[in-house]
Structure 1
């Protein structure tokens, strides 16, 4: 109810600022801890939790400050020690060189990535009147420079160059009695390391105490912030001295709400509610999900949240997505590998998420992976394909007329000279059939949505003409495919038949079935009628009923024109989009064949084949399971989102987010 009101003017803005400050302090404490127990919530009160957060925050800030200071001092001391050691070593090594002994020198340290830049700048600035010695410090990623030159001005210039490039110069007093200074530095470093160790132990003890309380603090802070955030959405009635707000609630929660109101009234609290009939407002969408269906619902919500009262596409995604994946990834061997991985992910999900948090998204898709593996195995049997090896589950009956195998492609076709032509032809036509039934299901759902919402205008002006045009075009093509498979085999190609239906509709050169001319003329007439029906019906109806303003008529006609053009283009583009099922399946089988032929399928001695088995497994997992599997997922997702959802899905809803005090882990 306070939408658009500035944050500072909200009734509980000060309380929110207070808890946001506590939240930032709790986040700082969390950053100091490796692992946090968010489950063990203990009984306490809010004041105690706030006091504990502030107390431990101050302690952790103090300990962190000490740790940074000691670490910084320790790094400087170790750099000084290394520079002093290297300086003493260099000086001793060149003690016989009279030219270098007569020169002045400075010792400095700089980041290793600036090593070559430093050399270049020194040589250009000093006109090469210097000698540079360097030594890398491996464990610090630093470089020690010892630069010999002549003159006080030159030394001053060198110091300025070092400082400008972020380097640090060793104090010249350290050069006096280097052995004594080395011992003194070693002693100081030892003392600082001791202080650092004690500080680390103190911090670990604090973290142990914090870890026992952190879940409690997090819970209470999360609870208070949600309460005040919710109350900020309400308006304060100064006359009645109460807060008034509007909310959505599930129907099955109305009875618990009634009981809560009665309990509050008996306890002396002022609490009342009434049910409102908000017909003009679109309610939020609420879904009952579990760990199996959650990932499918998330896939749908990424594209768009289903509108309230709309059929949820996630229900169909549960079986349609794996089915489309299986069409492209159909291989018994690879399906079994995928099934093994998915079972492993399901069995050790918690441990895998802890060990490899960056792969949590992959582990969350374990149930999708399992269903996809099942469909891959099924279509592998349908294609008689086991890692590019014909799977002869049924004895081949390729030469027998009218006696095919009970299921799938005859394995004998894989050994036939025209196997590629036949199998590709079958897969291409099968992909068209899958696309037809996939989109037909979407059209059927759109009819159900229109009937449920009693949207007769949408039904008669859009859905019915689209269904007629879709069936007359793609439905007829599917009929021709199945008819030619079952009845005929020596007639012209289906493409030429379909093209001639539009280019020369009054003439049939080679009739496939009796009455083909009249059937095609009737279908072509229905297709041509559906287009103007779709374009004119809705605008004419709205204008005749005076439901459109004069200045909005042009927008209405333009919108309907765009929808009609989209439908006409979609008849071709959506149908051809399903050819990716055939293309990806072909690519998968060809890649499998190449990997097999170049490794274990070669005619070579047994020992060489055993050696080549290692790259075979590597390529199988990396290219076929990883790369091809990901590609098949993306293509299946695209077909679900675009071709299927476009037939019925509005996707303009928003999620129902009830007030609850569940703490969400940052890793989730």
Structure 2
């Protein structure tokens, strides 16, 4: 109980780990979480250490997993989180993991590339369908607006008009530019496409409009095409006669139906791949990051001249030396090594680090104290006293019985359901912060009820629960008041 009020007694220890057992021993020490490794190679560049290649391989696997996770979130597929803490894989299993992640990444990239190409083709066919649907209406309007007695003066041949699709917000600027550059010698008609179209590159919904431009001469034709190119308008071939347009529209509709079927099959295959990956995504992340942490820790160790032993120095609590030695034995047995790992306590004049053991109840209060500063080694720890003083001082300020009851009930719910809530991982930063301080909120609520009763205050309304001991009646008694 005395260690609760002071930081743990620490000691500097030296570890001698066999090369074949070092990986498993560091893994077991990491699961224990009671040692702090010192860097014995401070003068060696990070890129010149022994296990730098393994760290890079782990970073590459982590990058591939982040890519897959991004695709899973984009598809709105929930990631399965069973709360399982998988064991770290052996070094020989890294090749299998790399092959699995490489295959998954390449498959997703290939699916995305094919899907983007299919969506681009689908967008072009959809735009062409809208152009063919609107073209006849445009031709009828132009024929009614202009009557030419000599048909050779104004012929609407294939070289006399262009049709295409442009973003709706660019239409006003596009129209003004055509008028100024062509000096009013073109005739523009445009109509909005009712349904938004999906951009194959970004997946955003874009509103577009169909347009057709009538003109005379090759010079105007070149100007119009350059303007369309500058405004990123998509131009499509449009037949001259209504019969040809009708036949072309029928062919386009058939191709759209076939392409839609292929797109649906591609999306179904992509969903199956992502759903299978989502089931093991969290386990993969834990395995890769554990491996990376182990190799990063091994880079802090020294290698003896025989290249068969790794030497490490660690700070550890004296009370946990037996647990650390047991973890080393377990790691040696797991690796299959016959040579045991050795732990030697060292004497040093260096000031040990401050380490305060916490549990789920005291961790919140310890974090409050650490936010102001971490005490020196073996200095008195204020956190146990804060368990009482912090909620009480809050209640002195808050002092409302009704709101205190609500706060107590909310915190009590989080405490009772903590196991279920912990198993349901959430990325909501605000909720995670409140949940981490559930015991603090519980005590603050209880103390607020207490001070609210003293203040006679409930939901900001005054109460008179116990009556008052103050009376002025003796001042007006016949005998007079006794002021002595």
- Tell me how far 1:346 sits from its aligned partner: 4.8
Alignment check: 8 A CA contact 1:149 1:155 kept: no
Query: Quick one: distance in 2 between partners of 1:294 and 1:123?
Result: 72
Q: Supply the RMSD in Å over aligned alpha carbons.
A: 3.7
- Tell me how far 1:179 sits from its aligned partner: 2.4
Among candidates 202, 219, 228, match of residue 162 of structure 1? 228
SS state at 2:353 partner:
coil
- Tell me how far 1:132 sits from its aligned partner: 5.1
Name the counterpart of 2:125. 77
Query: Quick one: distance in 2 between partners of 1:48 and 1:27?
Result: 18
Relative to structure 1, is the Cα distance of residues 386 and 255 closer, same or farther in structure 2, using a 3 angstrom cutoff?
closer
- Structural mapping, 1:265-344, within 5 Å: 267-269=337-339, 271-290=341-360, 292-344=361-413
Name the counterpart of 2:213. 148
- Structural mapping, 1:187-586, within 5 Å: 187-239=254-306, 241-259=308-326, 264=332, 267-269=337-339, 271-290=341-360, 292-346=361-415, 357=428, 359-361=430-432, 363-364=434-435, 365-400=437-472
Alignment check: 8 A CA contact 1:300 1:314 kept: yes
Query: Quick one: distance in 1 between partners of 2:378 and 2:397?
Result: 34
- Tell me how far 1:260 sits from its aligned partner: 5.3
Alignment check: 8 A CA contact 2:41 2:302 kept: yes
- Tell me how far 1:233 sits from its aligned partner: 1.0
Query: Quick one: distance in 1 between partners of 2:303 and 2:147?
Result: 88
Q: Could you list the per-position Cα deviations for residues 474-530 of structure 1 after superposition, in whole angstroms to 9, with x for gaps in the alignment?
A: xxxxxxxxxxxxxxxxxxxxxxxxxxxxxxxxxxxxxxxxxxxxxxxxxxxxxxxxx
Query: Quick one: distance in 1 between partners of 2:210 and 2:415?
Result: 57
Name the counterpart of 1:11. 50
Larger relative CO (CA 8 A, sep 6+): 1 or 2?
Answer: 2
Relative to structure 1, is the Cα distance of residues 136 and 375 closer, same or farther in structure 2, using a 3 angstrom cutoff?
farther
- Structural mapping, 1:622-641, within 5 Å: none
Normalising by structure 2, we get a TM-score of 0.70
Query: Quick one: distance in 2 between partners of 1:258 and 1:392?
Result: 64
SS state at 2:190 partner:
strand
Q: Could you list the per-position Cα deviations for residues 603-637 of structure 1 after superposition, in whole angstroms to 9, with x for gaps in the alignment?
A: xxxxxxxxxxxxxxxxxxxxxxxxxxxxxxxxxxx
Among candidates 117, 125, 135, match of residue 192 of structure 2? 135
Query: Quick one: distance in 2 between partners of 1:347 and 1:117?
Result: 63
Name the counterpart of 2:16. none
- Tell me how far 1:67 sits from its aligned partner: 2.3
Alignment check: 8 A CA contact 1:110 1:143 kept: yes
Alignment check: 8 A CA contact 2:329 2:340 kept: no
SS state at 1:380 partner:
helix
- Tell me how far 1:370 sits from its aligned partner: 3.2
Relative to structure 1, is the Cα distance of residues 362 and 214 closer, same or farther in structure 2, using a 3 angstrom cutoff?
closer
Q: Could you list the per-position Cα deviations for residues 334-387 of structure 1 after superposition, in whole angstroms to 9, with x for gaps in the alignment?
A: 333434444455566656966883543354244433333333333333332233
Q: Could you list the per-position Cα deviations for residues 50-89 of structure 1 after superposition, in whole angstroms to 9, with x for gaps in the alignment?
A: 3333333332232222222223322333233334334444
Name the counterpart of 1:60. 108
Normalising by structure 1, we get a TM-score of 0.52
In the alignment, does 2:63 pair up with 1:21? no
Name the counterpart of 1:48. 96
Among candidates 26, 32, 37, match of residue 71 of structure 2? 32
Query: Quick one: distance in 2 between partners of 1:332 and 1:63?
Result: 60
Alignment check: 8 A CA contact 1:105 1:149 kept: yes
- Work out the number of aligned pairs and report it: 400
Alignment check: 8 A CA contact 1:83 1:144 kept: no
Alignment check: 8 A CA contact 1:285 1:307 kept: no
Query: Quick one: distance in 2 between partners of 1:355 and 1:37?
Result: 12
Query: Quick one: distance in 1 between partners of 2:103 and 2:346?
Result: 47
- Tell me how far 1:172 sits from its aligned partner: 2.3
Query: Quick one: distance in 2 between partners of 1:320 and 1:113?
Result: 62
SS state at 1:5 partner:
coil
Alignment check: 8 A CA contact 1:107 1:144 kept: no
Among candidates 109, 118, 134, match of residue 165 of structure 2? 109
- Tell me how far 1:162 sits from its aligned partner: 3.2
SS state at 1:223 partner:
helix
Query: Quick one: distance in 2 between partners of 1:355 and 1:268?
Result: 44
Alignment check: 8 A CA contact 2:354 2:378 kept: no
Relative to structure 1, is the Cα distance of residues 12 and 162 closer, same or farther in structure 2, using a 3 angstrom cutoff?
same
Query: Quick one: distance in 2 between partners of 1:268 and 1:395?
Result: 80
